[in-house]
Amino acid sequence: MRLKWLGPAIVIVGVAVAGAGAYAIVTGRPDPGAVIDRLTVDPQTELVVRAEEGGDRNFVELFERGELKWRALTPAYAGRPGAPGIAWNSVAISVRVLRDGRAEIFALARENAAKLGGFKLAPNKGAAIKSSRGPVTLTDHVRSYELVEGADWHQLVAFDLNTGVGVWRAELSAAAIEDAKITDGAVWVTQNGARRGFSLDDGRERSSTPL
Domains of the chain: 2-206 (2.130.10.10)
pLDDT per residue as tens digits for the range 140-166: 999 999 999 999 999 999 999 999 999
pLDDT per residue as tens digits for the range 179-209: 999 999 999 999 999 999 999 999 999 875 5
Position 15 pLDDT exceeds 80: no
- pLDDT at res. 28: 53
Q: Between 6 and 68, whose confidence is greater?
A: 68
Q: How confident is the model at residue 172 (pLDDT cuts 50, 70, 90)?
A: very high
- pLDDT at res. 207: 72
| DSSP calls for 11-61 | GGGTPPB-----S---SS---EEEEEEEEEEETTEEEEEEEETTSS-EEEE
Q: What percent of the chain has pLDDT over 90?
A: 77
